[in-house]
């Protein structure tokens, strides 16, 4: 039987439980004897802890313990970096609980364990804290001044500077006929998940085993960190991935609570659960995106881009968290995007400030740098009098130039290249779908009181980060087959796409794949999880390898039982057959199980184009999107329905970042947007006119599936395209548009006379 589940819009298996309220998220767990943790968080952005008096809190009825740094002999453990773990970052890593100093509003200071959340919150009120306030470092400019230091022993608030280099930018600038220099900024927002984070830990004192529920994204890596911190062998800890209410890069990294809750459970020898509330989530989950660039572009008079050069400053918040450096380095490495830029010289300085630490948020650094680049390109087009589309076409990397080497990042990173694709093709499709040529005449026109704007931009999206993923196939008692995989589910539908891939590889119907078990540490020997749009490529390719090993082992076992050569065995739906017509049901081989793996150090690059037609009401700064088109080529597509879901879903997140979402701090480092009434997210009525088109014309040459990671494409281009379209609409006002988000007040201000 020859299958074609890959490429089909198969309805999702996960939906059957989610739609009936039968998902099991970490807060749905409630073992006997469960205690609840609540966390006292710093209300000061920067200061020295003079005292934390827990006496009164411990007297509250129903309180079992109050844990502070004092309870950790040898000091609280430090959370190490997972990605780019450079020695320079070490001194800036976060202790699991404030120790001597607090460095951001929201930093954990004490953990109360009580019979209920409400009692725990009552007890929080009774903790007496004295903090000697220090001057707050509220942004990178203050950080750079060095007037106040977060880490005094370091002598500077800068943790590191990355360099992205290609060719000789200085030489190119020296002889360039045209140069433009701009300062551009992106605001701070984050990968808010609908389900707040949660951890539940159970300690089995007799067996010396720790079970941690609520794991997500990278459970195996987090187990390694926790084992070291808590002093247990890795195999004494089981991390369980429950249903996960959204990841977006932010959830599932190792946070302070991932130590504090297991520590409390072991300390009290009782199950302990902590569920983040939304206010905590806004100040405790990784923030992202806040950056400023001072960048120059050099071009020929005909628009050929010669070089990019400049300085980037990122606001890292108070600590270097597990993946905190990714966004910063991506801004530098991917500023050239899908365009041919032979000379690049960018430095990116990572500044520590008294704000929530940053980490990755879907399209880390890419959303920011695409805004910077696409905005610059529109400015260049205007300066040189060249059509915006023609300018992009001239500079897009051609299919014949693939694989195309990109700027190298120092320190740490090896060389990287774009794997495959025809960037003109997605631009053509995008322009056709939005009817660019017919709409071009609307640019800047005022119709019924609103100004119409148009913009188009091109993007690339990295995926498939290595090094490895593991998968296993096993025969169940009833002869059905289960898939076990190291990839994690964060809502993207991995149970369905892995069942599609497994059914095709084994050439059996999909309903023979009974279960797809993922994430938890018990399922495979080692797992690498879900980040950098890697699950389909890495997990899917590992699954192909597992299928090969599994089939070989099954045929070998069947050959012995049926008395023929292994090569003569035929596997069909639910049985194995020998040439003579003898056969055995698969259930006869129950327990047979084989692992496979996929190793890869290269990245895949999906790509595409986005275009928008919008209208701006200059009187109130309101922008309405009339049509938005995203075209993505993602190589071989496993499930076009879920891919489209990723594109539209990520696009709306990108529009949130372009228009609405903004984590605002005052000069004292106080977070001013601590609720969902202040931190605005897109709703169902905000952006109804969005369209996505997926293409599969250019498979990736670097994995057996030919697939490319593709969970971010809609988001990456949104900021740049929206900014250019608003500037295009308001061209008669000569708007000063150099910063995101484009809140109504900012858009309105652009239409006002400048002082």
Looking at residue 397, the DSSP 8-state letter turns out to be P
- How many angstroms separate the CA atoms of 755 and 751, rounded? 12
177, 301 contact by CB (below 8 A):
yes
675 contacts other proteins (rule: CB under 8 A): yes
459 contacts other proteins (rule: CB under 8 A): no
27 contacts other proteins (rule: CB under 8 A): yes
* φ, ψ dihedrals at 153, nearest 5°: -65, -20
Find the binding residues for other proteins in span 488-517 (CB under 8 A).
490-493
Closer of 624 and 739 to other proteins (Cβ):
624
Q: Which stretch binds other proteins (CB under 8 A): 49-57, 285-293, 306-314, 682-690?
A: 682-690
244, 490 contact by CB (below 8 A):
yes
364 contacts other proteins (rule: CB under 8 A): no
Binding mask 81-120 for other proteins (x = CB under 8 A): -------------------------------------x--
Number of residues that bind other proteins (CB under 8 A): 58
We find the least distance from the C-beta atom of residue 10 to other proteins, in angstroms, to be 10
- How many angstroms separate the CA atoms of 702 and 538, rounded? 11
412 contacts other proteins (rule: CB under 8 A): no
466 contacts other proteins (rule: CB under 8 A): no
39 contacts other proteins (rule: CB under 8 A): no
The 3-class SS string of 568-616 reads: HCEEECCEEECCCCCEEEHHHHCCCEEEEEEECCCCEEEEEEEEEEEEE
Closer of 58 and 641 to other proteins (Cβ):
641
- How many angstroms separate the CA atoms of 577 and 580, rounded? 8
We find the least distance from the C-beta atom of residue 245 to other proteins, in angstroms, to be 3
- How many angstroms separate the CA atoms of 299 and 285, rounded? 41
268 contacts other proteins (rule: CB under 8 A): no
Tokens 């292994």 locate to: 566
653 contacts other proteins (rule: CB under 8 A): yes
**234: Cα within 13 Å, side-chain hemisphere:** 11
626 contacts other proteins (rule: CB under 8 A): no
Q: What Cα–Cα distance (Å) separates residue 387 from each residue in 373, 380, 398?
A: 16, 10, 19
Q: Which residue of 30, 414, 415, 754 would you call a contact of other proteins, by CB under 8 A?
A: 30
Q: Which stretch binds other proteins (CB under 8 A): 320-328, 367-375, 403-411, 676-684?
A: 676-684
Find the binding residues for other proteins in span 122-151 (CB under 8 A).
none
684 contacts other proteins (rule: CB under 8 A): yes
Residue 483's nearest CA partner among 451, 448, 447, 524 is 524
Binding mask 173-202 for other proteins (x = CB under 8 A): -------------------xxxxx------
Q: Which residue of 244, 320, 407, 501 would you call a contact of other proteins, by CB under 8 A?
A: 244
641 contacts other proteins (rule: CB under 8 A): yes
Binding mask 707-746 for other proteins (x = CB under 8 A): -------x--------------------------------
Looking at residue 711, the DSSP 8-state letter turns out to be S
We find the least distance from the C-beta atom of residue 31 to other proteins, in angstroms, to be 13
Q: What Cα–Cα distance (Å) separates residue 323 from each residue in 79, 220, 252?
A: 11, 16, 11
Closer of 612 and 651 to other proteins (Cβ):
651
355, 45 contact by CB (below 8 A):
yes
Q: Which residue of 2, 4, 21, 415 would you call a contact of other proteins, by CB under 8 A?
A: 21
We find the least distance from the C-beta atom of residue 83 to other proteins, in angstroms, to be 23
Closer of 338 and 493 to other proteins (Cβ):
493
Virtual torsion, Cα 219, 224, 227, 233, nearest 10 deg: 110
- How many angstroms separate the CA atoms of 472 and 480, rounded? 14
We find the least distance from the C-beta atom of residue 490 to other proteins, in angstroms, to be 7
Q: Which residue of 20, 61, 415, 754 would you call a contact of other proteins, by CB under 8 A?
A: 20
Q: Which stretch binds other proteins (CB under 8 A): 340-348, 474-482, 536-544, 680-688?
A: 680-688
Q: Which residue of 19, 390, 410, 599 would you call a contact of other proteins, by CB under 8 A?
A: 19
- How many angstroms separate the CA atoms of 358 and 695, rounded? 33
658 contacts other proteins (rule: CB under 8 A): no
642 contacts other proteins (rule: CB under 8 A): yes
685, 748 contact by CB (below 8 A):
no
Name the pairing type of β-strands 583-585 and 408-410.
unpaired
572, 508 contact by CB (below 8 A):
yes
For residue 626 the two structure tokens come to: 């009339």
- How many angstroms separate the CA atoms of 688 and 652, rounded? 10
Report the interface residues with other proteins, using CB under 8 A: 11-12, 14-25, 27-28, 30, 118, 192-196, 243-248, 277-278, 490-493, 641-642, 644-645, 648-653, 675-677, 681-688, 690, 714
């Amino acid at each position: 039987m020859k299958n074609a589940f890959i490429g089909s819009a198969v309805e999702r298996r996960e939906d059957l439980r989610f739609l009936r309220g039968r998902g099991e998220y970490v807060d749905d767990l409630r073992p006997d004897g469960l205690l609840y943790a609540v966390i006292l968080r710093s209300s000061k952005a920067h200061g020295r802890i003079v005292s934390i008096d827990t006496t009164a809190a411990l007297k509250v009825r129903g309180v079992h313990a109050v844990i502070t740094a004092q309870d950790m002999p040898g000091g609280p453990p430090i959370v190490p970096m997972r990605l780019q773990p450079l020695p320079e970052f070490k001194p800036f890593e976060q202790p699991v609980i404030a120790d001597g100093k607090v460095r951001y509003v929201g930093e954990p200071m004490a953990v109360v364990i009580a019979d209920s959340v409400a009692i725990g919150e009552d007890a929080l009120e009774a903790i007496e804290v004295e903090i000697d306030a220090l001057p707050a470092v509220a942004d990178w400019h203050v950080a750079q001044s060095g007037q106040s230091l977060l880490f005094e022993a370091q002598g500077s608030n800068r943790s590191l500077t990355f360099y992205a280099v290609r060719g000789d930018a200085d030489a190119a600038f020296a002889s360039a006929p045209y140069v433009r220099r701009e300062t551009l900024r992106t605001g701070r927002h984050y990968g808010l998940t609908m389900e707040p984070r949660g951890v539940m830990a159970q300690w089995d004192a007799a067996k010396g085993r720790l079970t941690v529920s609520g794991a997500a994204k990278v459970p195996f890596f987090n187990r390694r960190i926790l084992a070291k911190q808590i002093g247990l062998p890795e195999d004494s800890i089981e991390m369980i991935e429950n249903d996960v209410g959204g990841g977006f890069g932010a959830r599932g990294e190792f946070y302070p609570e991932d130590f504090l809750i297991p520590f409390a459970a072991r300390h009290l020898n009782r199950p302990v659960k902590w569920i983040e509330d939304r206010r905590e989530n806004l100040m405790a989950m990784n923030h992202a995106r806040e950056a400023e660039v001072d960048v120059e572009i050099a071009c020929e008079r005909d628009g050929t881009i010669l070089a990019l050069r400049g300085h980037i400053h990122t606001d890292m918040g108070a600590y270097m968290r597990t993946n905190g450096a990714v966004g910063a380095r991506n801004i530098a490495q991917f500023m050239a995007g899908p365009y041919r830029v032979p000379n690049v010289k960018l430095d990116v300085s990572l500044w520590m400030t008294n704000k929530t630490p940053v980490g990755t948020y879907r399209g880390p650094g890419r959303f920011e740098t695409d805004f910077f680049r696409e905005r610059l390109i529109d400015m260049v087009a205007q300066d040189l009098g060249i059509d915006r589309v023609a300018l992009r076409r001239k500079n897009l990397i051609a299919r014949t130039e693939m694989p195309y080497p990109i700027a190298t990042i120092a320190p740490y990173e090896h060389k990287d290249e774009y794997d495959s694709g025809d960037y003109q093709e997605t631009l053509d499709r995008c322009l056709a779908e939005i009817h660019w040529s017919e709409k071009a005449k609307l640019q800047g026109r005022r119709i019924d009181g609103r100004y119409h704007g148009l913009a188009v931009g091109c993007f690339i999206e990295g995926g498939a980060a290595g090094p490895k993923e593991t998968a296993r196939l096993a025969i169940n008692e009833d002869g059905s087959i289960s898939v076990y995989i190291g990839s994690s589910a964060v809502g993207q539908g991995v149970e369905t796409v892995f069942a599609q891939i497994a059914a095709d590889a084994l050439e059996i119907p999909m309903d023979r794949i009974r279960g797809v078990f993922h994430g938890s540490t018990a399922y495979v020997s080692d797992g690498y999880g879900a980040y950098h749009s890697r699950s389909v490529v890495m997990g899917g390719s590992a699954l192909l390898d597992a299928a090969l090993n599994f089939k070989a082992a099954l045929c070998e076992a069947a050959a012995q039982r049926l008395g023929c050569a292994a090569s003569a065995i035929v596997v069909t739906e639910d049985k194995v057959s020998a040439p003579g017509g003898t056969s055995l049901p698969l259930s006869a081989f129950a327990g047979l199980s084989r692992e496979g793996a996929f190793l890869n150090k290269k990245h895949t690059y999906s790509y595409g184009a986005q275009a928008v037609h919008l209208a701006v009401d200059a009187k109130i700064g309101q922008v309405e999107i009339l049509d938005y088109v995203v075209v993505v080529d993602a190589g071989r597509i496993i499930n076009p329905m879920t891919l489209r879901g990723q594109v539209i879903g990520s696009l709306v997140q990108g529009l949130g970042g372009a228009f609405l979402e903004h984590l605002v701090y005052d000069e004292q480092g106080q977070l001013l947007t601590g609720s969902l009434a202040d931190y605005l997210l897109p709703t169902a009525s905000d952006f109804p006119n969005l369209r996505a088109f997926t293409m599969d014309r250019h498979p990736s040459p670097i994995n057996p599936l030919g697939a490319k990671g593709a969970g971010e494409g809609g988001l990456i281009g949104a900021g740049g395209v929206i900014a250019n379209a608003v500037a295009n609409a308001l061209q008669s006002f000569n708007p000063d548009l150099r910063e995101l988000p484009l809140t109504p007040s900012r858009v309105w201000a652009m239409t006002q006379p400048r002082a």
